[in-house]
Structure 1
């Protein structure tokens, strides 16, 4: 029982020490300026930057095609407009997917 008690005391001391470390880290981070998102995501090579931008644009096109479908379903746009726009978006999406595959 005594051994378990000493083990518990050690664990409590370790936890208190880690809590102090976390608290000081939180205080340091609270004092820092906000980070610019564009500066936070910096790639090591131009190829990786191109890959990241292509991936983001492809995801955007995927969302745009989805919402075009929703607009057609709700009869906000005509079928002719939908087909023209989706064709344009899909063509761009195809080239981006090919670029992503080439970058990998």
Structure 2
């Protein structure tokens, strides 16, 4: 996570990316395995999903826990920081719905 001139820019730079905010919103509902996230995010490639998960982990928003089993099992969950930004993302979600409605009514 890199600090920007403005805190809003810092926030946007962390959550921007292919479906990062959506990943956080899904994880707010509970821990998910990789395949569960892949099924929820059908418009993202496995390569991109893996990249976004790594970046979210590096930024301290999600935890990745690998279980030493055969076959291997990996589970993702939100950190305290990830849970703390949930209200902001929920507000952005509601804002997106408002904009979509205005587009439909145009």
User: Same fold judged by TM-score > 0.5?
Assistant: no
Structure holding more strand per residue? 2
Larger radius of gyration: 1
Q: So what's the TM-score if we normalise by structure 2? A: 0.29
